[in-house]
Structure 1
Amino acid sequence: MQLTIIKTFVSRFLILILSFGLVIYSTNMWGSEGKGTISIVVANAAAVSFFSSIFSGSSASYFASRFRIEKVLLYAYLWSLLTGLLIPFLFSVASIQGEYLLYLIGISVFSSLLSTNISLFIGTQNIRKFNVYTVLQQLVHIIFIGILVYGFGKKDVTVYFLAQIGCLALLFLTSFFQIIKKCNISEISFCKDVGRNMFEYGWKTQLSAFVQFLNYRLSFYFLEYFEGLASVGIFSIGVTFSEAIWTITRSIAVILYSDVVNSKSREESIKKTKESLKLTFFLMIGFVLGIMIIPSQVYELIFGKEFKDTKEIMLLLSPGIFAIAVSDMVGHYFSGMRELKILNVKSIVGLVVTVVFSFIAIPKWGIIGACVATTSSYFVSAFLLFRKFYSSTPFIFRDYMVSKEEVQLLKQKFLKK
């Protein structure tokens, strides 16, 4: 597990660098309003993905080793097409960024199809391909933006969406051929038992994930309503930083989930969860210290004068970023154990906190109010997860301390790499 985490950590670090590069380019190319438009459309695509992931997300991972992959693929692909077309259309009817409907459909469909393939890699413990495709999603997106801007002379914000669609389509086709060549085409058929189990597991996990997504993104919509798109663009930089950091810690969570799903005992799963908690805890201390050390002038120099308050936003969000990153380990443990009720409870309670604080704080304090609402929600959600986890296992402070033996083992792994 430790060597796999190291390899995944390296891939996530590459994603972190590429994500920062994409954010820097988009803010300088399209400004705060353009970044706000990108943030809203991407948030809408993420909302669609939570519906499509009922079959194409953790459900595909969980049942990849329990049913024939051919049957899992059939349900996941058909559901991806249905939700990728239907949900964006409903958004346009509700007048939510309707002018970007076709881009939203393209992003939603190909993102969901690719997510199915990546989920199958996780479920079959093919972490190497999972790492490769998650890095390529950022890298190919950036390359396609460069081709459209410097090769075809396109300059408007739709370049971002066209490049993303092209990237997702290419990676889906590549991963599809890698998966399908190992499948028996004659085995592709509908099976009521497969469909029922995938839907039952999928909607329960995605209910929690969708509500948690609202915790992450609802402040965008409140800000757009009360302050305008430019405020969304400025605030989104802080959120993008936090999610870039989470790409690294969530790599640990993905490995943990794969191990828990394939584990033979609860005791073994708890042990691995505590190991993941320790590693994430120390990584996040490093990231938060980094946020504190970087001068505010650096953020302004990188992103432009419109983003001069980025450090203040990051500092206000950092306690919540820390709490979510560490508690994600516990959340993936419960998901792997099929103990899904606590995930729904913590997400719903967190959403209530987000809504209440957003109504109070955003009209009064603007972007700072959005930071307060977001951090409060993150803290409450994390507290509920930890309370549940430590009701079934004793809390021991040394679980969060690194021993000399563990430091030596990590050195050996890196030298071997």
Structure 2
Amino acid sequence: MINKILGTALSRILNAIINLAVIILISRYIGREGYGIIGLVVVAISIIQIFVDLLGGGALIYFSPRKNQLALLVISYLWILIVLLLFAMAIYIFQDFSPDLFHRLIPPGEEKSVLVLAALNAFMLTHYNLLIGKGKIKQYNIVFVVQILSFISSLIYLLFVARHQDYTSYISALEISYGVGFALSTVFTIRYFNFGGNLHPGEIVKEMFSFGLISQIANGFHILNKRISFYFISSMAGLSSLGVYNAGVQLSEGLRLIGQSISLVQFSAISNSDDRIYAVSLTVKLMKLSVLLTFIGLVVLLVIPVGAYEYLFTKEFVGIKYIILALSPGVLALSANTIFSHYFSGLGNPKISLWANIVGFAFTITFALVLIPVLGYLGAALTASVSYSSTVVYQYFVFKKQTGVMFRQWLPEKKDFIDFKIIILTLINDKNIEDEH
């Protein structure tokens, strides 16, 4: 378990370092408006992925150890093609029907890029989810690391060798990295999976849709909670302000990678076990670790002076430090949210996360309409923190009611710090062994 968490965490830490380098490159060579366009493109891809995951996503992870993998793969592939076709038709109709509103959602000229990226991302994530579901965390981490390294190397080449110093370099680098991730994950999927046995596709589709519908409605609200402010800022303050906010979000929410790394292993373990007591104990322990590590990361970001942020990201992005400060409570809440969500989903009960995200969405709309017109991107950051916190409060009370776990059991104990020390020592020892070889 520790090795899986460490492997996933290390790959995510590398991703966070690369993400920081990307933010610096964008701020210096692409600028605020370009970052705003990038933000809208990425949000559009995320929205398409919500619909793809109706027969994918968490359902694939949950059913991988339980159903025929060939059937899961074929069903997911066909569903991806259907979703992409429907979105292509919707884009074609919508941009003619209301071009002004359409281009507030998808930047002009980027329609094809959105569809291509959405396709590559969907096929790649399908393989990722199958690997995670079968407990092939090491293989998943290898593909993930190669993917992010291909992204940063492509971006550097396009910016400094090809001299394409605009947002299109980011889009092209993303296409290359998604393609690499898809190709390599295909190799691992073919290598490690048993595609024999009874298919029963009709039965599997029904079960996946039943599981995936609730899960993805929940995920849809979660993404809206995180990203609907992008559209408010773009409409009310313009792409430049959105670019600054996007940079601040990328920096602070980069700490989400800690909770995501831990929760991936948690979800895989719970999905492959029928022991409810083990699931509860594991969730409490990993929650403490997730929140503690995220808190440490936030402290590091907050002690960095404003001048250092200006030096790294230029004065165009002067508001980044204040965005991080406003987002801090929300980022801490997200580190708990991802553990709660994967606990409920791992037990096949995603409805809890659905209602939690609906609560968060209600807070998002209310506070966004009040704060963003007055405070701009700072209002969006405060809105996000309120939304994420309300979601976690709801999940906490449901978890408490179902399990009987009291608040004091969530407080860090001496044993928790001993476990944390063991993880660090394991990491150091593994590194020393690698150095000796």
Report the TM range for the smaller structure's normalisation. over 0.9
Partner of 2:396: 386
Matching residue's letter, 2:427 = F
- SS of equivalent to 1:38: helix
Deviations 1:244-276 (A, max 9, x none): 110122100111111111122110000000110
Matching residue's letter, 1:49 = Q
Which structure 2 segments of 5+ residues have no match?
Answer: 96-101, 431-437
- Conserved? CA contact 2:270–2:346, under 8 Å: yes
1:109 counterpart = 2:119 = yes
Aligned equivalents of 1:118, 1:174: Cα separation in 2? 10
1:226 counterpart = 2:236 = yes
Aligned equivalents of 1:76, 1:295: Cα separation in 2? 47
1:206 counterpart = 2:221 = no
Matching residue's letter, 1:198 = M
- Conserved? CA contact 1:52–1:83, under 8 Å: yes
TM-score (normalised: structure 2): 0.91
- Conserved? CA contact 1:361–1:370, under 8 Å: yes
Q: 1:398 to 1:151 in 2, by over 3 A?
A: same
Question: How far off its partner does 1:54 sit?
Answer: 1.7
1:373 counterpart = 2:383 = yes
- Conserved? CA contact 1:281–1:400, under 8 Å: no
Matching residue's letter, 1:393 = G
Aligned equivalents of 1:187, 1:83: Cα separation in 2? 28
- Conserved? CA contact 2:120–2:179, under 8 Å: yes
Question: How far off its partner does 1:360 sit?
Answer: 1.1
Deviations 1:8-52 (A, max 9, x none): 211111111011111111121111100000011111111111111
Partner of 2:83: 83
Out of 401, 407, 414, the position equivalent to 2:427 is 414
Partner of 1:401: 412
Aligned equivalents of 1:282, 1:185: Cα separation in 2? 41
In the TM superposition, 1:291-306 aligns within 5 A as: 291-306=301-316
- Conserved? CA contact 1:85–1:105, under 8 Å: no
Q: 1:162 to 1:399 in 2, by over 3 A?
A: same
In the TM superposition, 1:196-275 aligns within 5 A as: 196-275=206-285
Q: 1:233 to 1:408 in 2, by over 3 A?
A: closer
- Conserved? CA contact 1:36–1:231, under 8 Å: yes
- Conserved? CA contact 1:280–1:325, under 8 Å: yes
Partner of 2:355: 345
Aligned equivalents of 2:51, 2:303: Cα separation in 1? 40
Aligned equivalents of 2:214, 2:130: Cα separation in 1? 19
Matching residue's letter, 1:410 = I
Aligned equivalents of 1:343, 1:298: Cα separation in 2? 38
- Conserved? CA contact 1:49–1:112, under 8 Å: yes
In the TM superposition, 1:12-411 aligns within 5 A as: 12-87=12-87, 89-91=89-91, 93=94, 95=102, 96-97=105-106, 98-182=108-192, 191-391=201-401, 392-403=403-414, 405-407=418-420, 409-411=422-424
Aligned equivalents of 2:420, 2:124: Cα separation in 1? 37
Deviations 1:107-129 (A, max 9, x none): 10000000000001100000011
Runs of 4 or more off by more than 6 Å in structure 1?
184-190
Aligned equivalents of 1:188, 1:108: Cα separation in 2? 31
Matching residue's letter, 2:47 = A
- Conserved? CA contact 1:125–1:258, under 8 Å: yes
Amino-acid identity (%):
27
Question: How far off its partner does 1:350 sit?
Answer: 0.8
Aligned equivalents of 2:42, 2:264: Cα separation in 1? 22
Aligned equivalents of 2:131, 2:202: Cα separation in 1? 24
- SS of equivalent to 1:158: helix
Which structure 1 segments of 5+ residues have no match?
Answer: none
**114-123 or 366-375, which moves further after superposition?**
366-375
- SS of equivalent to 2:264: helix
Matching residue's letter, 2:208 = M
- Conserved? CA contact 1:111–1:168, under 8 Å: yes
- Conserved? CA contact 1:350–1:377, under 8 Å: yes
Q: 1:344 to 1:183 in 2, by over 3 A?
A: closer
- SS of equivalent to 1:390: helix
Q: 1:231 to 1:187 in 2, by over 3 A?
A: same
**67-76 or 171-180, which moves further after superposition?**
171-180
Question: How far off its partner does 1:354 sit?
Answer: 0.7
Q: 1:174 to 1:281 in 2, by over 3 A?
A: closer
Q: 1:415 to 1:373 in 2, by over 3 A?
A: closer
Aligned equivalents of 1:261, 1:186: Cα separation in 2? 21
- Conserved? CA contact 1:84–1:112, under 8 Å: no
